[in-house]
């Protein structure tokens, strides 16, 4: 029996149940009804319901899936709610697990190891299981080469994910710009505003440069000695007298930072 992908592929949360196809019938838990006995409740997006069928680690859920496959069948996926927010999906997951009951607590058939909602809430892990997990991790990363390979794999996965996100962002930006500048009127308006902005920027730049130049000249004059200041004032006065047609009736301009003549 093949598992059919019957869930939504949109980016929205779903709450689903894995069903034991060896046990058909009507299974009622309050107002929730299943056509086969449920053995796992989960929430996720996209391919998450199908991911459970690829797991190979040791857990009650995987052991149940292996027993179903040994009987020549495949688990069924039943969507209970679709297009939920994450908060709604977490809340419904908790409700369903509490209503159906967990097998490790001897309250129902579910192989879930937590109450749902927060991932690790009420997780039951025996001391023997923890010791096996520690031994497995030590054996897996015993050598320096194994640790380096593992670190490189994580780094590669993070880089590829960020590159994929950047490519998607660039595609979305390109599509948005294409829609924004689709008409000739929009392009003409952007061109006009660009020319206007450049003209304003050029004028502001000239004013800024003139102000900065005057301030720099004043600072430089303030650093000179009195003898140098007097020499500069004399040169400016002689230059003004040569250029001015009538020095007796024309007022000499004051030089900033030079003091009185």
All structural domains of the chain with their residue ranges: 13-124, 125-178, 207-236
Taking CA atoms, 98 is separated from 21, 103, 116, 197, in Å, by: 22, 11, 9, 63
Taking CA atoms, 12 is separated from 41, 190, 260, in Å, by: 17, 37, 79
pTM value is 0.47
List, run by run, the mean pLDDT of 10-residue segments along the chain (261 residues).
44 89 94 94 85 83 93 92 88 93 92 79 70 80 80 80 74 78 77 72 64 70 78 76 59 47 38
User: Token digits for 145?
Assistant: 């080469």
User: Token digits for 209?
Assistant: 């440069």
Taking CA atoms, 139 is separated from 86, 127, 129, 136, 153, in Å, by: 37, 18, 15, 5, 18
Look at residues 177, 175, 59, 36 and name the one whose alpha carbon lies nearest to residue 111. Answer: 59
DSSP 256: T
């Amino acid at each position: 029996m093949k598992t059919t992908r019957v869930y939504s592929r949109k980016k929205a949360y779903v709450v689903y149940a894995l069903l034991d196809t060896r046990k058909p019938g009507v299974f009622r838990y309050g107002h929730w009804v299943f056509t086969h006995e449920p053995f796992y409740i989960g929430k996720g997006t996209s391919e998450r319901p199908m991911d459970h069928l690829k797991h190979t680690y040791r857990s009650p859920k995987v052991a149940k899936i292996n027993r179903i496959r040994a009987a020549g069948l495949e688990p069924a996926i039943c969507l209970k709610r679709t297009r939920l927010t994450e908060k709604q999906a977490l809340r419904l997951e908790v409700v369903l697990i509490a209503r159906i009951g967990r097998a490790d607590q001897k309250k129902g058939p579910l192989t879930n190891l937590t109450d749902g909602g927060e991932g690790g809430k009420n997780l039951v892990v025996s001391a023997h299981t923890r010791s096996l997990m520690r031994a497995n991790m030590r054996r897996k990363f015993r050598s320096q080469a194994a640790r380096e390979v593992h670190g490189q794999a994580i780094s590669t996965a993070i880089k590829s994910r960020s590159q994929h996100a950047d490519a998607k962002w660039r595609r979305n930006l390109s599509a948005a710009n294409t829609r924004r500048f689709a008409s000739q009127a929009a392009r003409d308006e952007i061109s006009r505003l660009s020319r206007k902005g450049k003209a304003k920027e050029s004028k502001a730049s000239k004013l800024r440069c003139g102000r900065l130049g005057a301030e720099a000249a004043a600072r430089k004059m303030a650093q000179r000695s009195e003898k140098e200041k007097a020499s500069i004032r004399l040169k400016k006065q002689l230059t003004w007298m040569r250029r001015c047609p009538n020095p007796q009736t024309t007022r000499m301009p004051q030089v900033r930072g030079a003091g009185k003549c």
